[in-house]
A = this chain, B = another copy of it.
Amino acid sequence: MRHLCMPEGLCANDIAKLENIISVTRKVKRGDALFRAGDRFDALFAVRSGSIKTVITHDGGREQVTGLLLAGDALGFEGIEDGEHTCDAIALEDSTVCVVPYTLFERMCRETDALQRRLHRMMSHAVNRESSHVVRLGMLRADERVARLLLDISSRLSRRGYASSEFTLRMTRDDMGSYLGMTLETVSRTLSRFDKLGLIETQGKFIRIRDFDGLRAV
């Protein structure tokens, strides 16, 4: 049972080719950076285990969490444009990623159209991921944003075959707040309220969703 870093099917032949170039994995310790803004871009990454946040550091030191990557998610596409990464990627827990050397991968994509299609879909997915985040930030109230985040994580986990109703979110409340465009206090209060309402159960970073429809209706 081998783990495929970049899931969803290719034909056996293509998979073999792919495995050749993504045989390299890299471990990243909790709190360490997989890459930093300004680092030379030379590889894409896929989260194999653990989770990673992407952070943009604004002039003045203010930081914003712009992305949350779970096992199975690919990252690094932002670096292609100018050949250097535009954000920091920080491990939220000890994690493992597959390393996909970019120029090699690009060449393979020219040879294999299935692989090319796959890369394009991944990049398109990255666009859509950002775009739904824009919607979340742009037209939802604080409690709606929190509810959506929980549902989003849940559905991403279930798509990957993990339990969808309970998980441990390694982000701090501060990270969640930064990601959702609100303060850590508001995140905390919102989670407490959801708990009191019977929508979820929280014990620190562990979260269990008790009432999916209720959350959707927030």
A residues near B (Cβ < 8 Å) are: 56, 58, 62, 64, 66, 77-81, 86-87, 106-107, 109-111, 113, 116-117, 120-121, 123-128, 130-131, 133-135, 137-139, 178-181
Contact = CB atoms under 8 A, between A and B. Distances in A.
Contacts of A86: 128, 131
Contacts of A178: 138-139
Contacts of A121: 80-81
Contacts of A117: 106
Q: So how many copies of this chain end up in the complex?
A: 2
Contact of A133 (B80, B123, B126, B134): B134
A147 to B, nearest CB: 14
Contacts of A138: 64, 66, 137, 178-181
B78 A139 contact: no
